[in-house]
Chain A
Amino acid sequence: AQKITQTQPGMFVQEKEAVTLDCTYDTSDPSYGLFWYKQPSSGEMIFLIYQGSYDQQNATEGRYSLNFQKARKSANLVISASQLGDSAMYFCAMREGRLTGGGNKLTFGTGTQLKVEL
């Protein structure tokens, strides 16, 4: 089974609107972390936001927030007030805990290409 699933290969959003990028994960480890990265066309991966499995509150960083639904094993990224510069590929990733041999590695999803339109 895929550990990280991003079902939207491509998304369009109008400038200034909010957009949700989906991510579901699969792990039996009670301790894990979820990350979102942005990859513009220049190629560099930029860290956006992190959510730990024991965090009570949903993570937020500026216009980015993570809609963490533990029971549903989903960690969707919400971008508010989209800007043209948000056009990029977005990757969800998971770090598992030591119980499953993790602790160091990230497993990445296949990504969602977001295009922001005027």
Chain B
Amino acid sequence: DVKVTQSSRYLVKRTGEKVFLECVQDMDHENMFWYRQDPGLGLRLIYFSYDVKMKEKGDIPEGYSVSREKKERFSLILESASTNQTSMYLCASSLFAGGVSYEQYFGPGTRLTVT
């Protein structure tokens, strides 16, 4: 079974802090994604990566950056956390073959609160 793990289930940070959210997958997937989920808005893509050191902006990249130094690990960085970044953060990975991306497998999520 595909396993996607996230470093924390719950996190509380103060405004202005630098926050790191880590995600690890064990299935050698090429693609990795970071989403945030807010009530009534569904899942919105922040960034994704299709290879080591490669990344593309999603729909809401402002205030975030990412890092992918190894294939299995994808980090989301909040350079200076703000209260409007309080949200559920979901990491996902997927196989990429034949020019298309297959179903995404998700981690358990990190509920981040910024006070």
Q: Do A and B bind?
A: yes
Mark A residues whose CB is within 8 Å of B. 31, 33, 35, 37, 42-47, 50, 91, 93, 95, 97-98, 103-111
Scan B23-63; emit 1 where CB is below 8 A from any A CB, else 0.
00000000101010000111111001010000010100000
B45 and A105 form a contact (CB under 8 A): yes
B88 and A110 form a contact (CB under 8 A): no
B101 at the interface (CB under 8 A from A): yes
Partner of A110, one of B40, B94, B107: B40
- For the side of the interface on B, what is the size category? 20 to 34
User: CB-CB < 8 A to A37: which residues of B?
Assistant: 106
User: CB-CB < 8 A to A111: which residues of B?
Assistant: 42
A105 and B58 form a contact (CB under 8 A): yes
Partner of B106, one of A31, A44, A107, A109: A44
CB distance from A108 to the nearest CB of B (A): 4
Partner of A50, one of B90, B103, B111: B103
